[in-house]
Amino acid sequence: MVDWARLSQLLPATPLRVVSISLLFYGINSVKDVYIVAEGVGLPAGTERATINLANMLVETYRVTIVVADEAVPYYSLSEKVNVHSLGIGRLDGATRRHQWVKLFFIELRRFLRDKHAYALIGTNFVANCSLSILCLSLWFKPHRLLFCEHAPYLFYSPIRRLLRLFLYRGGGVVVALTPQDADAYKRKMLKAVCIPNSISQIRE
């Protein structure tokens, strides 16, 4: 279990949120496969950068696979040791209704993970987090570590989405929030949450 007080002393000025997220895995020597689920890693955006940074860190110890919707080449530098698996459905665009795309995303993700022995799962956005939570509510799919990374403030989503999120996030995972206020908001709803600020440079390496 992570000692967050000690962590704050060790990393008082660390700008990378992914460093702290990766520390959630320390002490788990038996971890084999870590799956990071994202819409994609081909755009020059913050979530994509955070996803790739986290994968590059974890792959030094674990076997890491990034699961994405599209087939775009990673925009940021990604270690050759990290596997990237495409679900083959593409990113959401104007030609596909959102609810149809989300349904397809869930179906393909379930098909991919069904025969995998995932020891740890990390969601990187609302759709990925909700999909992983639903999968983990089933009896046959129980990873040892489940993280729901939130890259948006607690009140960013609509009331309906917030209600859905609070219900689905009860699947046994830990919410990684942006601010202490966000983490407290989740905790007031009886959810497990930690605060790891998101301050990642957008300079491409």
Per-residue pLDDT of the chain (205 residues; tens, 9 = 90+): 434 344 334 333 444 455 555 555 555 445 478 999 999 999 988 889 889 988 998 888 889 999 999 988 899 999 999 999 999 988 777 656 888 899 999 999 999 998 888 878 999 999 999 999 888 877 566 667 888 988 888 888 889 988 888 888 876 788 988 889 999 999 998 888 988 875 443 333 3
- Residue 199 is predicted with a pLDDT of 47
- Residue 21 is predicted with a pLDDT of 59
- Residue 38 is predicted with a pLDDT of 93
- Residue 46 is predicted with a pLDDT of 83
- Rounded Cα distance between 205 and 190, Å, is 40
DSSP state of 199: -
How distant, in Å, are the alpha carbons of 77, 82, 119, 137, 168 from that of 164? 34, 32, 25, 15, 6
Strand partners of residue 175: 148, 193
- Rounded Cα distance between 59 and 79, Å, is 8
Helices 126-136 and 159-168, axial angle in degrees (round to 10): 30
- Residue 60 is predicted with a pLDDT of 86
3-class secondary-structure state, position 36: strand
Residue in the structure block whose two tokens are 């009331």: 159
User: What pTM value is reported for the model?
Assistant: 0.79
- Residue 17 is predicted with a pLDDT of 53
